[in-house]
Copies of this chain bind each other. A is one copy, B any other.
Amino acid sequence: MEIIDGNAVAKSIHQELCAELASIKYHRPPCVAFIRVGEDPASVSYVKKKERVAGEIGITSKLHILPESTSQAELNSLIDSLNANENVDAILIQAPLPKHLDERATFNRVRADKDVDGFSAANLGFLCQEEQAFVACTPAGIVELLKRAGVKTAGKQAVIIGRSIIVGKPMALLLMKKGMDATVTVCHSRSENLAKICSQADIIIAAVGRPNTVTADMVKEGACVIDVGINRVPSSQTKTGYKLVGDVDFANVAPKCSKITPVPGGVGPMTVAMLMHNTLAAYKRHVLE
């Protein structure tokens, strides 16, 4: 059994992006604009991490902080000005947005060639069409993990648990496209026979947000298990009183797997790495094409 080290893979990708960026001669560096609405502590911390990694790679970032009370019109106006700004390659709007704002409409307002989160209808559609697209960072990161860990996908059964736009659906589209060629099943809260379906999978991708969704009896001997969940559970063993766990019962599932990702340190770091990858791709489109 091999534990896939997401931190190590992400670090390799950061180094590759640095090297690639150094080879591009242009009068300005890539620039990503972050928009954060309100002061949600998780959002504050995610954006900080993205700013830090961008800086390490040589990508300029500009953080726009809007108050919790921001109206849709004000948010739209900021997006429009960033869409029009030739010096901005990429726009990332940190989710979740306050409830009074329309997340879907907000994502769709970002110009497709700056939508490095890949959540806009345009990029989801390009992904369906197997055209050049910005792919949502978490599923794109999982594909990188699978490739670099030498996991075969062609003809194999991949079961995805979760059907969100952020993970489940783009993950399914990525794994079924030509070149990946997996046989993809998407399960969700309404699925009957979840355990039986999972037990036939060569690859399981759990993106539910509930601890212990995948237990040892649901996993075939030798399967590869990718855990997307990040759940905070009470713990007497940490100073903070809680710890992070995934959707998979890691202790009991891991011994049956050929490969498995841990939480934390599995998929998480890849999401940031792929955001940087997408930002560099946007920059290249803007300055080289």
Contacts and interface: CB of A to CB of B under 8 A. Distances in A.
Interface string A109-131: 00000000000111111101101
A231 to B, nearest CB: 23
Contact of A157 (B108, B126, B128, B197): B197
Contact of A125 (B125, B155, B197): B125
Interface stretch (A64-72, A141-149, A169-177, A267-275): A169-177
A108 B192 CA distance: 37
Contacts of A154: 190
Given A129-B165, A183-B186, A186-B176, A155 B192 contact: yes
Nearest to A126: B121
Contacts of A190: 154-155, 181, 183
A197 B197 CA distance: 10
- Chain A contact-residue range equals 35 or more
A240 interface: no
A7 interface: no
A192 B156 contact: yes
24 contacts: A104-B131, A121-B122, A121-B125, A122-B122, A122-B125, A124-B124, A124-B129, A125-B126, A128-B165, A128-B173, A129-B165, A155-B190, A155-B191, A155-B192, A157-B193, A169-B176, A172-B172, A172-B186, A176-B188, A181-B188, A183-B185, A183-B186, A183-B192, A185-B186
